[in-house]
A = this chain, B = another copy of it.
């Protein structure tokens, strides 16, 4: 079966986020009253797995092995069955 995992990778709260700081400065220079900006990455992986439990375990292994740096980032995972996309 095909599954789609959405992995959201964010810098930990105590880690600096230079990209977010740049966006904050740019939004302020455009006149927006912005207090804070944090940025993260979304990685959408379509892959084969036996069942939903296997898919979740596989997605977590991908996160630990490659997608997130556990020293400075945390991540969350959503797993769904892949439905045929009408593109």
Contact = CB atoms under 8 A, between A and B. Distances in A.
Interface of A: 2, 8, 10, 13, 20, 23, 26-27, 30, 32-48, 58, 61-62, 65-67, 87
Contact of A33 (B8, B47, B65): B47
Contacts of A10: 42
Contacts of A66: 23, 26-27, 30
A67 B8 CA distance: 18
Given A27-B66, A33-B48, A66-B30, A42 B40 contact: yes
Contact of A41 (B30, B32, B39, B47): B39
18 contacts: A2-B35, A20-B43, A23-B43, A27-B45, A27-B47, A30-B66, A32-B61, A32-B62, A33-B47, A34-B46, A35-B47, A38-B43, A39-B41, A39-B42, A39-B43, A39-B44, A40-B43, A41-B42
